[in-house]
Amino acid sequence: MRILLTCCVLAASLSSIPATAATYMIGDDDGFGVGVPDNADHPFLGVPPYDNRSASEKAATNGAQYTDTYSTTQPGYSPQPGTVATFIFSGLGSGWTQGAMTFDLADFQASTFGATIVTYNGIVQNWAFNDGYPRTAIHSFDLQQDVLSSINTLGSLTVKIDRAGSGDFYGFDYAKLTDFNIVNPMPSVPEPATWMMMIAGFALVGSTIRRRRHQHGAALAA
């Protein structure tokens, strides 16, 4: 009886566990720059040189050093004076068939100041945004087959953002890569109705077993 109940509980628990895709994130998702929430207005209070990164971001070498700054590559408002920001996702392996990139960013006004040139493993992406100052925004992109193929070949994804042709300010809070092929189970608690059905089922099974034992004992006594 105990073994049966244990198996029932385990089966019910496993059937109630949803799944989530694997994610790789550069940045900390703590609110753009000065803690401004996603998809919200933000004031620009920075004065050159302006750098609002945390200590861990300042010590990073994998692209995280570009997050939480008012302008990723604008001289005087950035960790470095160049025009290219690079985010590197390594150790990705192969077998990618579906994925996405998500960026928490701010201030793009391509039609006014010129668009940036962005590449995923050297493959050009469209980044002609007009969210406009002083807005933060979440942008998500499904990875195209040529990008997926390059990840499978290289085992990594390098995102380069070049503002050489743009005079705009812009910044990032995080860059997140999602692999929809790797599924991580997340534990959850069954709904109350599910528990009631389980309890009723256990009671019925227990009652049946007890009745059979009683009948078997009576037959032996006779």
Residue 3 in this model has a pLDDT that exceeds 60: no
Where does the pLDDT of residue 5 fall: very low under 50, low under 70, confident under 90, or very high at 90 and above? very low
Q: What is the mean pLDDT of residues 155-172?
A: 89
Task: For 88-120, write each residue's pLDDT tens digit.
Answer: 999 999 999 999 999 988 888 888 888 889 999
Least confident of 50-54, 129-133, 155-159, 187-191: 187-191
Given a cut of 60, is residue 201 above it in pLDDT? no
The single residue listed with the structure tokens 């050009």 is 124
Weakest mean pLDDT among 25-29, 155-159, 188-192? 188-192
Both structure tokens of 198: 């389980």
Quote helix, strand, coil % in the chain, to nearest 5.
Answer: 30, 30, 40
Burial of 140 (0-12, 13-18, 19+ CB in 10 A): exposed
Distance CA 129, CA 182 (A): 30
pLDDT value at 149 more than 90? yes
CA gap 71, 53 in Å, rounded: 11
Q: What is the pLDDT of residue 92?
A: 96
Q: What is the mean pLDDT of the chain?
A: 78
- Mean pLDDT of the region 207-222: 55
Residue 152 has a pLDDT of 98
Indicate the domain borders of the chain: 27-179
Express each pLDDT in 49-78 by its tens digit.
888 788 888 888 877 888 887 777 787 888
Classify the phi-psi angles of 27: left when phi > 0, otherwise alpha if psi is within -120 to 50, otherwise beta. Answer: left
The CATH architecture annotation of domain 27-179 reads: Sandwich (2.60)
Rounded Cα–Cα distance for residues 219 and 222 (Å): 5
